[in-house]
Structure 1
Amino acid sequence: MGPVHESALDLRVSDLLTSDLLWNKKRIDQFLPAFSTQIQGLRPSRKGAEDAYVWTPLTTGIYSARSGYNATAQASHCPSAPISQPEAEFNWLKDIWSTKTSPKLKLFLWSTIQGALPLGVELQKRGLNAAALCPRCKEVETAMHTFFLCPFAKEVWNHVPFKTPVHIAEDMDFKSAIVKFRQALCLPPIGVRSPLLPWVCWSLWTARNKLIFEDKTNPPIEIATRGLAAALEWDQAQAVMISKTNPNIPQRAAPVRLISLDTENPCFVDAAWDSTAKRAGTAWILNKHLPHHARSGSQIFDNVNSPLMAESLALRNGIEELIKAGVQSTTVFSDCQTLIRAIVNKSQIKEAYGVLQDIDRLSSLFVSICFQFIPRSQNRETDFLAKQALQAHCCLIPYV
């Protein structure tokens, strides 16, 4: 953490805002220079919306009993870790209990991590007079050895058709191995969409037990094939179950439906976002299908942290321009479905709370205003204006 000016300890948020509710960059740099970028990335309401508490684990910012339970369960499993963990860290909820696999295999993974499997090392820890060596290679039998490091296990994994190989280091634990396999994709034509790690590990485990108790052994390719077949069978069963539960779900992707634009004073908004510079170009077009009455404009915003924030700023800017033009009735079109859904359903998005509050207050000034999602193909002119504005401002164009 960087230095904090002593006077900053008595500051309020309002002390860092200008009279028109914009960030006072000079004061931020004076009192909180280490946090200048983070603070300016926040977008407070410009219409004086009241502050509100938000529930950080959900993007809506609204608490639910389910999210509260999940957050508590995660904290209890990982007491030293924060609720929001980096992608590189093991997460009980994400990597075990919410993973798309059989409930039996979730319990199997949990048992492996907790040291509950009757492996040689675990049995000796419990005072049992059992061999602690791998029945195949006579190395110390641990979970990592049995499932990844044993030469037999390595050969099994070599027969699993991953898009890119997954490398397991000697000093890894089972949790770290699960994290490494998160993005492991199975190549076609196998067609398995669920994680393969639980199925292959289970196949290795049952093969190990057959060797010990029945003195039966199978070649590595057969063990790998069993795991793949079980995963594919479970995958297909889930698809059948979903189709029976929801018979109206279309089996093919529905064709793109064109939205009617024949409304009074249609206004189109869009944004282009530069992920490197954290800058957004926004644009709006009013009455684009009436050439003699068409109006358009664009604006640049700095310190924009996401594409969703960029789209929110573009929509607010478009509404403000409509008010300046004296428009009383309009339909606002945007190709950001998440934003339109939040506005229509009057739900919240915590990162855009202030902007959404402004949009709600500005909407009350119209006699009639509607918000409509349209496919990007019907918003190309506005998209071009937004990108053109961003390009004119900076040569970097890594649009997202």
Structure 2
Amino acid sequence: MLPNIKTFAWRLLRRALPTGLRAGRFSIHISKTCCRCGQQEDEVHLFFMCSFSRAAWFSSPWFVRSDALVQGHSTLHSVIDVLRMRHLYGSLSNICTLLWCLWKARNDFLFHRAKSLPHQVHIAALALTSNVYDNALLLNQTPTPTQLSSNQIPLPGRTLRSDLLADGAKIYSDAAFRTKKIPGLLQGQVGTGVGIFISLPSNGGEINVQVQASAPPTSTPLQAEALALNFAAYLASQLNIAQPTFLTDCLVLAGAAALGNVSTSETPWSIRKSLASFFKTTYQLQPKVFHISREINDVFCCFYRTLTCLLQERWQ
């Protein structure tokens, strides 16, 4: 990541960017509204809700409906966490570079009346991306040197193209962030929904174990996913499952869990406590952790939604 983009990212996450709403509090000569659409300009509006930003996010290679993305999230941090966990191109470098280009396009229009088109934001982002792998992602390509064939298994923490490539016991984990669809939850309250799907090989077949649980609400989706993985580790320990393969659709979490050390700089502070518990619980199990796509995990998600509905009917 370039130094100027690092500085921008620091100011953005520290809520120090001079957006219209923030800068307008210090001078009556500074407009608090967006220079493009006339709405009040805070970070969420500038980067995700403005018509220009929405068009940029919806174009190649992101194809994200940013107006739907920010719904249910009160902070920019949680929105970025969702992108990092759920999107194929959601590395922190790619996200910050695109946000910086949106910021520069806004400043060029506000101060110099220089108009640009949404797709030009991606061209500028590609030109600024110094990392070769991130460069390939923005081009919607996979870098040739690290391209995997269908019968190769990647290193732990990386993306597993198919769960069929994993041998032995497989444990899928998923979490519902700040959901109201928890049986027995009072009206207006939210919690964290946790679901675990365990597949155990047995005499040429398999035994499936499905578990649903709930927990108090977490601050970020990443913390919710870490909580689910920690609960999956607890179940594996209680069932004495040796050499399990944990599968999660959160790439950041999979990478951090595969490191085996909470003190590394790559591990987010918000999930270090959960990961420390995960490492302690699975110390003798010799686990592996991989990232899988949301589509693969949808098999489990369908079960989770069905079971939730059945339990809600029972509670009513």
Could you tell me the TM-score, scaled by structure 1's length?
0.35
